[in-house]
Chains A and B, each alone.
Chain A
Amino acid sequence: MQTIDLSEVGLRALNKTLHAQTNHTNQTNWEIVNPKGAHAIACGLDAPIEVTVKGSTGYYCAGMNQQATVNIHGSAGPGTGENIMSGKIIIEGDASQYLGATGHGGLIVVKGNASSRCGISMKGVNIVVKGSVGHMSAFMGQSGNLVVCGDAGDALGDSCYEARFFVRGTVKSLGADCEKKEMRPEHITLLQELLDEAGIDADPSEFTRYGSARNLYNFDVDNAGAY
């Protein structure tokens, strides 16, 4: 295990070291101490390494992640995992706003709550939140899955396309063109896989599925008020 003290080496040196790791690196385990809420920690990784941040992080931690697993032993600031392509981000605490925005792939797990705009414009990422999510979550979600074991705030899935949302608790309100859907066996299977991968013990049958009503795909003057 390699340990890096962020307060000693600084952000650029840290990220440069992590970026230098390749598919064939022998140094697969990294620990970052003294993160102190710094921005852009472990951003842009592209190697099968595991990075553990011992503390809370600021904006954009593990943004654009590919292949790597990033563990955050604290809470995560705004834009964590923005545009994640693959790999895994596991947040032990809470996540701030726009978690996993525009994410194309991979998995993000939040053990606490996620704030507003969780999974905004998601394009294939899977996000599993053990607690609750804030308002406007999965706004314009295009594909991927958002699993919420607690409650969802206002306007869930507003203007969504083909992203799927599974919520165990209550939904304060649904966004424009988002509706409640039937949980078919294939959804139970998918949800069980996501919960297993996230390491969260919950019964898929307790969840409700939501998704696009597909009324706003094409402009229709009769829907003008809904846009």
Chain B
Amino acid sequence: MCGIVGLFLKDKSLEPQLGEMLTAMLITMTDRGPDSAGIAIYGAQTDGRSKMTVQAADPDTAFAGLDKALSDVIGATVGISVKSTHAVLDIPAGSTAQVRAALKDINPDIRLMSRGDNLEIYKEVGLPKDVAAQFDLAKMSGTHGIGHTRMATESAVTTMGAHPFNTGDDQCLVHNGSLSNHNSLRRKLRREGIHIETENDTEVGAAYLTWQMQNGATLGEALESSLDDLDGFFTFVVGTKDGFGVVRDPIACKPAVMAETDQYVAFGSEYRALVDLPGIEEARVWEPEPATVYFWSHNAAPSTTEKAA
């Protein structure tokens, strides 16, 4: 069992409260996943710059002077903003691969949580309320975000086993369920050259989407094909630069509830997670259909429920 929450804002005036709303939703889902928690938040973008969120077990030493060391290697300014065990690196756009290689040389124990122009991912082991407090998630603003509370079934309770998983630039995945063919799929993907760090089933799901998209699939196509290639139970919520998507396996035993108003589209594993959102009494509340890919994007017309192409 795990808990998923997601919030996509249509009303810009709510953006400063995104972190606060999402944190409250996340904490409500504590009973579904008390062992670790994580959040992916899509915030402001600076022209010509990208972001990388990194994590270290000993942040005091690992992050000290890291910005300078990286600047020296890539020959451009690198900014750093440390939040507990995580740090957001402000890097020149297009330098992600270079920075990643440099990080490996400087300190191989520093772990990459996310990369992209808007995306930041924070995740740790612990009760959702403690993880939220650790990173001051309630203070964050943004256009949309997704969160996850984990009750591990398939692999160890570690930071790297927590969700969300970064699947590509500005893309991430959270999962409720368990994949049963993750071992064979992991072997296959590793042969294809995809980097998979843990024995976690969801990481394989994330790697699968990454691999599909590297081979030219759109995120929507990758999600459609996941319905054929992934065996097991899943409700996936994926975050993208412009919005989020939802897909459930054809059996759909893992719960999912959605709510939409003029101000937002919200996802919760249970209705409980949505009860404190503004105007929820008048919201359209429904369960996403099995084996159907849903997307909401800031790029499309408001209140879209377009199927991904």
Query: Which residues of A pack against B, CB within 8 Å?
Result: 36-38, 56, 58-59, 75, 77-78, 93-94, 96-97, 115-116, 134-135
Contacts and interface: CB of A to CB of B under 8 A. Distances in A.
B252 A58 contact: no
Contacts of A38: 272
B169 to A, nearest CB: 36
B271 A58 contact: yes
B59 interface: no
The A interface is mostly helix, strand or loop, or mixed, namely: loop
Given A75-B285, A94-B287, A116 B252 contact: yes
Nearest to A34: B275
Contacts of B285: 56, 75, 93-94
A58 B268 CA distance: 12
B270 A115 contact: no
Contacts of B270: 37, 58-59, 77
A94 B286 contact: yes
Nearest to B268: A37
22 contacts: A36-B275, A37-B270, A37-B271, A37-B272, A37-B273, A37-B275, A58-B272, A59-B270, A75-B271, A75-B285, A77-B255, A77-B270, A77-B271, A94-B285, A94-B287, A96-B255, A97-B253, A97-B255, A116-B290, A135-B250, A135-B252, A135-B290
A135 B292 CA distance: 14
Interface string B243-277: 00000001011010100000000000011111100
B260 to A, nearest CB: 14
Nearest to A56: B271
A93 B286 CA distance: 10
A51 B136 CA distance: 42
B287 A115 contact: yes
A2 to B, nearest CB: 23
Contacts of B273: 37
A94 B258 CA distance: 13
A158 to B, nearest CB: 12
Contacts of A56: 271, 275, 285
Nearest to B255: A78
Contacts of A135: 250, 252, 290
Contacts of A115: 287
Contacts of B286: 94
Contacts of A37: 270-275
Nearest to A136: B251
Contact of B252 (A59, A75, A93, A97): A97
A135 B291 CA distance: 12
Nearest to A76: B271
